[in-house]
Amino acid sequence: MEAIIIKKIDFVLPWVDSDDLNWQKEKAKYDLKYNTEDKHTHTRFRDMHTLKYVLRSIEKYCPWYHKIYLITTGHYPKWLDITHPKIELITHEKLFIDKSALPVFNSNAIEMNLVNIKNLSENFIYLNDDMIIWEPLEINRFFKCNKPIDFFHHAWIPRNRFYELIKGKDTWIDALNNNITLINNTSFSDTMNNQQYYHYSYSLKQKISNFLQKNIYKKLFWIKHWHHPQPYLKSSIEKVYSTYTKEMKDTSRHKFRSSSDITPYLYRYWHLVTGNFEPYFHNDAVVVRPTSVKHLKSICTEIESYKHINFICFNDQSNDINNNEFNDLSIALSHYLENKFSDKASFEKRYST
């Protein structure tokens, strides 16, 4: 059995309080001028009030964690004790290397500056505020031999202009393609080994696709992703920043999502193509997108039947839900999660509800 030599593991996540009136006024100043490309702009900033349960899930199911870094514009939930030693609030002012870029309302811009988090552990886990850990986990679900657990699944076709004609334009797809272009234009001295290309946890179809990428294409078309907490090494983030400083600074200046962005998946692509990861495809996460209270109840019933699911992302990407319906949905979801995570975390104020 592998000896655990990792000294500490931090969690990092961004959060925005879309109900903050000062934040709303600040965002409104820039909306018309800059926020022109993102088709999910209506849902991008809505808060389903899952943060409390994300944080509780970390403390309950990953008790080995060292500290949680919460990245915000400066606001934080009233129930959170930011003086607690397990919590550190990182404001955009602290985080951004280029202060002149502020304010920003673009998660990609924020994530380009993770390298600037002081005292961040070498091994850390990045997640969003809708990703909930659902079962008890050991460190070796995220790291093995001090390397991130990850998988390399190359896709059969690129997400190019033909793909755009079928699916429509999407700034997120464009940004991921920008990542791939950067990686394809970079020479790497280290490469993946056969185990990383053809691990036994990969399907036969996936192994064939990886074979084609390795031996025929010899460049990246598209890399498949998971959408749950992602393990990283701070040293890898530093190497990415030193290699793509200009491109990352450019994205940092984009106040809203743009087709010319790069995304934090660039960090993941880096540790994949340099072979700095331990391969394993854990099919242990689901993303659910409830569209109504009735739909949520159906989803919750289905969740109870899941086996071997470690992560559930309660995602809001539907522009069809009006604000009243969304508020009802958020309340119902909070009731459901309160039953699952009824114990307050150590960093919650005792009088909070």
The average confidence (pLDDT) of the chain is 90
For the chain, what are the domain ranges? 9-340
Distances (CA, A) of 47 to 50, 111, 137, 294, 305: 8, 19, 26, 19, 27
Using the CB atoms, write b or e for 90-129: b if 16+ within 10 Å.
bebeebbeeeebbebbbbbbbbbbbbebeebbbbbbbbbb
pTM over 0.85: yes
Q: Give the pLDDT mean for 251-274.
A: 95
Task: HSE, CB side, 13 Å, CA atoms: give it for residue 235.
Answer: 8
- Read off the pLDDT band of 47 (50, 70, 90): confident
* The pLDDT of residue 170 is above 90: no
* The pLDDT of residue 3 is above 90: no
Angstrom distance (rounded) from CA 24 to CA 320: 22
C-alpha 268: how far from chain center:
11
Task: Assess contact for 339 and 162: CB atoms under 8 A.
Answer: no
C-alpha 151: how far from chain center:
16
CATH of 9-340 among 3.30.160, 3.30.700, 3.90.550, 3.30.1490: 3.90.550
Q: Give the pLDDT mean for 174-185.
A: 95
Q: Which of 167-176, 221-230, 250-259, 311-320 has the lowest mean pLDDT?
A: 311-320
Q: Which residue blocks in the chain are alpha helix, DSSP H?
A: 21-34, 41-44, 51-61, 92-95, 107-111, 161-167, 171-184, 194-197, 204-212, 234-243, 245-252, 265-273, 293-303, 323-340
C-alpha Rg value of the chain to the nearest Å: 20
* The pLDDT of residue 352 is above 60: no
